[in-house]
Amino acid sequence: MKKLAILALGALALGVASAQSNVIKIASVSPLSGPQSGLGTAIQQGAQMAIEDAQARFQQLGFQLQFAPQDDQATPDVGVAVARRIVNDPDLLGIVGHLNSGVAIPASEIYKDTNLVMVSPANTNPRVTDRGYLSVNRICGRDDVQGPVGAEYAVKVLKRTRLFVIHDKTPYGQGLAEAFANRAKELGANVVALVGTEEASNFQPLILQMRAQRPDLVYYGGIYDKGGVLVKQMRERGITATFMGGDGLDASDLVKIAGSASKGVLFTTTAGPISTLPKAAAFAQRYKAKFGKDPEAYAVYAYDAANVILNALEAAIKANGGKKPTREQVARAVREVKLDGLTGRIEFDSKGDRKLSDYYIVGMKEAKYPGEVLRVIQFAPPAARQ
């Protein structure tokens, strides 16, 4: 018992000591290993560039700015474990991440206890911000807009009437697919199926259902690692329906996996190809020089997300008389940020959604990433629902 008390005291002393240190850490949390590491690494590297750019500025304010990349393996329980670990680091004042809504939702339940601010470049599930936590923000769009945008394009522009909707049973995939299906029904299309599957290699049962239903468009709510296999097997078995999905398909690995079957794939995304962001050209060049590859999907969004946190930090430091701000002060400052980022104007509403987000429709004319932007639509998030 005595030992425990001494230990506790020691830990407390250590905590106090480091709380006064002049180190400020920003973490990125995304999958760095496993099948989705392609998207996750882009987030980590985008955030890293923003933090390295700001290090000199923070040096002048008297702070040493550090970057702490974390791996959530795209898995909820790993994400929660990482969250528990990083909230216990008092120097850590902001998080860029996560990639997956299914990971961000449980992890942010832990961040909110200490008001540790999270700015996500990629979480599109409505529930991420609909819970109304002070510490949770995102700079990308939402699935309840992304899904309907896709449905409008499929039904009104492409004139598809028999839609076969599949999702991967994650909060992201299911939310997106359901939003797509609902809007398509409102527009008068016939949704012949809305099915979930966790399968990764054998999609034959779904393909057999397509044979029976003869859809003219197949919509997949999920990530490229499975979507790519699905479309490849569909084409091999002679299903010619248009293949469409959400931003989970937005990765160069889609082409690696699906090969020639990726030709003609359509997806909506909240993160436009870097070529559509005129201000990001210099960023893209620096990124390529540093990491040896083009920035993909969420890299530039992660850069902006990190800059949102850095801006808020500077404001909070000033408001705090040059001293290190508390997590709550940083979280409040994030909601006040008005920033012209590489992805456009960034301002948050009271829930932490961006006031205006872009939604893109991208088509792969050839089996080559990135595809071609067919349409850009700007939308405000829907008002908070209870």
> Beta strand pairing status for 242-245 and 217-221?
parallel
Window of 19-27, 106-114, 210-218, 270-278 that interacts with another protein by CB under 8 A: 210-218
Site for another protein in 124-153 (CB under 8 A): none
Dihedral of CA atoms 326, 332, 338, 341 in degrees, nearest 10, equals 60
Instruction: Give the SS3 label for residue 175.
Output: helix
Which residue lies nearer to another protein by CB, 196 or 344?
196
One residue of 15, 62, 205, 322 binding another protein per CB under 8 A:
205
211 binds another protein (CB under 8 A): yes
Q: Is the dihedral of CA 98, 103, 109, 114 positive or negative?
A: negative
Which residue lies nearer to another protein by CB, 35 or 363?
35
Residue 96 near residue 29, CB atoms below 8 Å:
yes
278 binds another protein (CB under 8 A): no
Helical H segments across the chain, by residue range: 2-19, 37-60, 76-87, 101-111, 127-130, 143-152, 171-186, 204-213, 224-236, 253-258, 281-291, 299-319, 327-336
DSSP conformation letters of 251-272 = STHHHHHHGGGGTT-EEEESS-
Minimum separation from the CB atom of position 18 to another protein (A): 35
Minimum separation from the CB atom of position 167 to another protein (A): 9
Residue 101 near residue 127, CB atoms below 8 Å:
yes
One residue of 60, 201, 240, 386 binding another protein per CB under 8 A:
201
One residue of 24, 26, 27, 37 binding another protein per CB under 8 A:
37
Which residue lies nearer to another protein by CB, 18 or 202?
202
One residue of 5, 212, 282, 383 binding another protein per CB under 8 A:
212
Which residue lies nearer to another protein by CB, 237 or 288?
237
Amino acid present at 123: N
Which residue lies nearer to another protein by CB, 6 or 195?
195
268 binds another protein (CB under 8 A): no
- What does DSSP assign to residue 350? T
170 binds another protein (CB under 8 A): no
